[in-house]
Amino acid sequence: MYRYDEFDANFVSQRTEQFKDQVRRRLAGELSEDEFKPLRLMNGLYLQLHAYMLRVAIPYGTLNGRQMRKLAHIARTYDKGYGHFTTRQNIQFNWPKLEDTPKILEELADVEMHAIQTSGNCIRNVTADHFAGAAADEIADPRPYAEILRQWSSLHPEFSFLPRKFKIAITGAPNDRAAVQVHDIGLQLARNEAGEIGFVVFVGGGLGRTPMIGRKVRDFLPEEDLLAYSEAILRVYNRYGRRDNKYKARIKILVHETGLEELKADIEAEFERIRFGVLRLPDEEVRRIEAYFAPPPLEVGETVSGAVENRKETDAAFAQFIAHNLNPHRVPGYTSVTFSMKPIGGIPGDASDAQMDAIADLAEEFGHDEIRISHEQNVILPHVRLEDLPALFDRLVSAGIAEGNAGLITDIIACPGMDYCALATARSIPVAQRISERFGAPDRQADIGELKIKISGCINACGHHHVGHIGILGLEKKGEEFYQVTLGGSANENASIGEIVGRGFSSEQVVDAVEKLVDTYLGLRSGKEETFLEAYRRLGEAPFKEALYGAA
């Protein structure tokens, strides 16, 4: 795993000291709130409805047991015993006190963690496929490149005051699990005919109030050009991106308003100027960083485990878990296991301090001390022996994170919504909970198959509703919560933005509406293999619209 070098350690501890002093000056009245707010935001500290909120970075979603235990400790000591994993692979604490935050940041620094680049108009933490370094379909581990980008972007003086926030995501596999096409820059690792590694580059994807799928600007960017090309994109954005209107300031608007061809030409021109300069990535440097992410020693084993097969025969919950929560590993005899942070009727992404401690223990015992957080708000052990699955499952059951629902209809993404968020127009979590209860029966979920529901509590789209197979956006109408439903969104390699089906639904009606959509799909699918999304793409919106609103 990546370890801080001396530079990083100094940088983080300096930043913690700085913030401690800023908090002291704020409390002493030397800084006004207007002066202090940008400083606290740079350190991940927001003010929400009930309290402050601290967003802690988990770069590319990778952490170890010691770090997870520290998060548990923070939840227990400074918060109310829980944290919330987010769609950006971060964790948020909902109740920290301002006076405690310098201490919390110190504690985080002890385990090489921080809250830098979780907020503000800078290049945010780079996100990556949560199965990175383990997935059977992977061309290469994307995290070394994510780390190279992090080192380049951390406190990059030229890019600390961008027109708006800037998000980069990277996947190492052709099956995109990192939603790269809805990021400002999306990178997909690829090999050219000579077998060399490079990237397909997308620019200008994003969600929020103007959702857009990223446009491809390069079919193959050689590895050595990663930073120079990224810098060229950022420079063009920094120069031409709009600063007059924050709703039009993301790079997606620039792509849209300037036109792809012209922007591409601008990027290429800038790239040609700096291409052979200091940003050219030497091969040794990439290999050096790669070594930090070297996989643990894994012994090749049997691809089928007798212990697993036997247990499946007699234990339906275990069989369901095995059917849905495993991802194929590149080493035979191993698998990547998803711990569902979506218990039926529970709060998507919430983890208690006890659960975090349990995850840390399990990672150390069964998972070579590696943990991942997914943008789908689940926790993953990337390297688990098949043989260990029965024992691991028993422990997950005790910890309450054993639901076999990964990728199913109850594996819902939901933003904090109006239960916490100062910007919300409606609640999202309770809607997720009610849908989960409605469809929670194991057979029913399994029969429905892959179906991604994503819920946001306002137009900012932190819950990715635009790319949900069924997306739900909470709005306010005449003082009441009101939910708009979109269909056909997707965040994978065939990304698409969902379309609004028709008028929205009240809080009481929205779960019934989802059920009608699901029943329509079940009635019309060509067979069990045809997923909801495939059926929607084949059938179009008409039958779904009719189910919701009657014949036109």
Partner 1 sequence: MKVITANRLLNGDVVWLGDNGSWVERITLARVFEGKEAVAEGLAEGAEAERNQEVVSVYEMDVTVEDGIVSPVRLRERIRATGPTTHPQFGKQAQAVSA
Q: Return residues touching ligand SF4 (CB under 6 A).
A: 415-417, 421, 423-424, 456-458, 460-463
Residue 98 found at the interface with partner 1 (CB under 8 A): yes
Write the DSSP string, 93-156: ES---GGGHHHHHHHHHHTT---TTSSSSSB---EE-TTTTTBTT-SS-SHHHHHHHHHHHTT-
Instruction: Give the 3-state secondary structure of 352-389.
Output: EHHHHHHHHHHHHHHCCCCEEECCCCCEEEEEEEHHHH
CA-to-CA separations, 107 to 16, 111, 153, 534, in angstroms, rounded: 10, 7, 24, 47
Judged by CB under 8 A, does residue 443 bind partner 1?
A: no
Residue closer to partner 1, measured from CB, 53 or 182: 53
Nearest residue (CB) to ligand HEM, 461 versus 533: 461
* Alpha-carbon distances of 497 from 79, 250, 415, 443, 467, rounded to whole Å: 37, 17, 18, 30, 5
Q: According to the binding rule CB under 8 A, does residue 481 interact with partner 1? A: yes
Residue in this structure with the two tokens 């994993």, named with its chain if needed? 85
Kindly state the smallest distance separating residue 458's Cβ from ligand HEM, in Å: 8
Which of 383, 435, 430 lies closest to 405, judged by CA?
Answer: 435
Which of ligand HEM, ligand SF4, partner 1, none is residue 272 near (CB under 5 to 8 Å by kind)?
none
What mask of x and - would describe binding to partner 1 in positions 41 to 70, judged by CB under 8 A? ------xxxxxx------------------
When binding is defined by CB under 8 A, the residue of 200, 322, 347, 362 that contacts partner 1 is: 347
The answer to whether the beta carbons of residues 417 and 457 sit under 8 Å apart is yes
Stretch that binds ligand HEM, among 15-23, 63-71, 333-341, 415-423 (CB under 6 A): 415-423
Sole binder of partner 1 in the list 104, 424, 470, 491 (CB under 8 A)? 424
Cβ proximity to ligand SF4: between 51 and 331 the closer is: 51
Q: Is the dihedral of CA 290, 292, 294, 295 positive or negative?
A: negative
Beta carbon of residue 52, minimum distance to partner 1 (angstroms, whole number): 4
Which region, judged by CB under 6 A, interacts with ligand HEM, from 87-95, 188-196, 230-238, 504-512?
87-95
Concatenated DSSP letters for 291-308? HHTPPPP-----SS-HHH
How is residue 535 written in tokens? Answer: 């059926």
For partner 1, the closer of residues 379 and 458 by Cβ is 458
Q: Which backbone phi and psi does 379 adopt, to 5 degrees?
A: -115, 140
Q: Is 412 in the site for partner 1 (CB under 8 A)?
A: no
Q: Where are the alpha helices (DSSP H) in 498-541?
A: 507-524, 532-539
**Binds 304, which of ligand HEM, partner 1, ligand SF4, none (CB < 5 to 8 A, cut-off by type)?**
none
Q: Which of these, 423, 432, 551, 524, lies nearest to 483 by C-alpha position?
A: 432
Number of residues in contact with partner 1 under rule CB under 8 A = 32
Contacted by 458, from partner 1, ligand SF4, ligand HEM, none: CB < 5 to 8 Å by type = ligand SF4
- Closer to partner 1 by Cβ: residue 432 or 491: 432
Judged on CB neighbours under 10 Å (0-12, 13-18, 19+), 14 is exposed
- Binding residues for ligand HEM, how many (CB under 6 A)? 22
**Contact present, 431 and 510 (Cβ < 8 Å):** yes
Say which entry of ligand SF4, ligand HEM, partner 1, none residue 317 contacts (CB below 5 to 8 A, set by partner kind). Answer: none
499 CB-near residues (< 8 Å, 6+ apart): 486, 487, 488, 541
* Candidate residues 6, 33, 244, 299; the one interacting with partner 1 per rule CB under 8 A: 33
User: What is the rounded distance in angstroms from the CA atom of residue 495 to the CA atom of residue 177?
Assistant: 11
Q: What DSSP string describes 303-325?
A: SS-HHHHHHHHH-HHHHHHHHHS
Strands lying side by side in the sheet with 334-339: 62-63, 371-373, 379-385, 334-339, 326-328
Q: Which range of residues in 97-105, 135-143, 279-287, 400-408 is near partner 1 by CB under 8 A?
A: 97-105
86 is a site residue for ligand HEM (CB under 6 A): yes
Examine residue 39 and tell whether it contacts partner 1 (CB under 8 A).
Answer: no
Choose the contact partner of 29 out of partner 1, ligand HEM, ligand SF4, none; CB within 5 to 8 A by kind.
partner 1
CB-neighbour burial class of residue 245 (10 A; exposed 0-12, middle 13-18, buried 19+): exposed
Which partner from the list partner 1, ligand SF4, ligand HEM, none does 117 bind, CB cut-off 5 to 8 Å by kind?
none
Element at 6 (helix H, strand E): helix 6-27
* Among 22-30, 114-122, 368-376, 543-551, the segment contacting partner 1 (CB under 8 A): 22-30
Complex with ligand HEM: residue 164 or 368, whichever CB lies closer: 164
Query: Among 132-140, 202-210, 387-395, 400-408, which window interacts with ligand HEM (CB under 6 A)?
Result: 202-210
**Cα→Cα distances 402→218, 241, 332, Å:** 41, 46, 23
Contacting ligand HEM within 246-265 (CB under 6 A): 250
Counting contacts by CB under 8 A, is residue 353 touching partner 1? no
Residues contributing to the site for ligand HEM (CB under 6 A): 46, 48, 53, 86-88, 92, 164-165, 167, 206-208, 250, 415-416, 421, 423, 460-462, 464
Residues contributing to the site for partner 1 (CB under 8 A): 26-29, 32-33, 47-52, 80, 95-99, 347, 418-420, 424, 426-427, 429-430, 433, 476, 479-481
